[in-house]
Amino acid sequence: MLHSKEEIEDREKCNRYQENWRKWRKDLYENGWVVIPNVVVKERVQYYRDQFWDWLEGLSPKLNRNDPTTWINENWPGNFNGILTGYSFGHNQFVWDIRQEDALISIFKEIYQTSDLLVSFDGGNVSRPLPTKRDPWWHVDQSNDTPYFRCIQGFLNLEDCGEHDGGLVVYTGSHNYFDKYFKESGERCQYDDYYNFEQDPRTIEQFKNCKEVKVCLNAGDVCLWDSRTIHWAVNPSSQEGSGKCRMVVYTSYQPRSWASQMSLSIKQQAFQKKQMTTHWASENISLTDPSFVDDGDTKYALSENYTSKELPKLSETGKKLAGF
């Protein structure tokens, strides 16, 4: 997706450094990622975590949240590196309740300097403790054709996440070299708004000084990152970790003013059909089929009753976030 000079200016202006920014906003600007602690109160986090497990157990009656021996492929939802892109997961009531959390919305209001926002119909991530780490899949979620500021991605963390409990891995400051890398290497995105690195970014000249960080955070914290920041996600370790699953719900917002009438129409129809999207909330709206299952990690027969036919209930704020 290409933008006019005026559209680029509109996107860049909310990301121009300001001395009166709060520390987390400065860190996000400089490092390309940040953790904001205690965004959602513990009682609400517990409720969301319970709802997440209720949904998982609803998919497979043999799955038991309190019995890790049941966390096997046959009982686990299909996913890609833990990411849930199917089952209409992104339209569960508890997922929409998270998107409508005032404290969460306020963060993105501060980033984009507007209260008129849209939210993506993104999914979540639930990763089991495994004896070995999955191979790194270093990537960025933005096209080399648009090297300017466009999107801040994020997630609400639902389970404490220590050094060996899996989670997001980021390369600090790599967003600052995004444009330089593509210009000097001649590389192009393999897909629209997605580029996968075939080698450790730290072996690439432009990113050699970017520190790799496995993000650690507590339940109720929110993690944010610039879409130009190199990142990937690692699974929890069954040998060294706490024994808990990594559990997050993705939250990404953009200004409504960046959306075309076509994008708004697509979002409205997607909501009615319980279709999910990628992290883009206002532009480049790509949909998935409600029954789509990415067979990245697991293979098992999915129950026909994978999701409620009932649409989630939205507040007036939620309706606006959905594109209505």
In a domain, 272, yes or no: yes
- Of 19-23, 273-277, 320-324, the poorest mean pLDDT is in 273-277
Q: List Cβ neighbours of 77 (8 Å cut-off, separation of 6 or more).
A: 56, 59, 60, 84, 86, 87, 126, 293, 298, 302
Helix H or strand E encompassing 282: none
Q: List Cβ neighbours of 76 (8 Å cut-off, separation of 6 or more).
A: 60, 63, 128, 297, 298, 300
In a domain, 215, yes or no: yes
Residue in this structure with the two tokens 């639930």, named with its chain if needed:
126
In a domain, 201, yes or no: yes
Q: What is the CATH number for 175?
A: 2.60.120.620
Residue 52 has pLDDT above 60, yes or no: yes
In a domain, 18, yes or no: no
pLDDT of residue 299: 40
Query: How many independent structural domains does the chain possess?
Result: 1
In tens, the pLDDT along 64-106 reads: 999 999 999 989 988 889 999 888 899 999 999 999 999 999 9
pLDDT of residue 133: 86
In a domain, 17, yes or no: no
Range of the domain at 65: 5-11+23-322
In a domain, 16, yes or no: no
Q: How confident is the model at residue 156 (pLDDT cuts 50, 70, 90)?
A: very high
In tens, the pLDDT along 219-273 reads: 999 999 999 999 999 999 998 989 999 999 999 999 999 999 999 999 999 999 9
pLDDT of residue 71: 96
Proportion of the chain above pLDDT 70, given as a percent: 94
pLDDT of residue 60: 87
The number of beta carbons lying within 10 Å of the beta carbon of residue 267 is 25
In tens, the pLDDT along 184-211 reads: 999 999 888 999 999 999 999 999 999 9
Q: Whole-angstrom Cα distance, residue 200 to residue 132?
A: 19
How far, rounded to the nearest angstrom, does the alpha carbon of residue 305 sit from its chain's CA centroid? Answer: 26
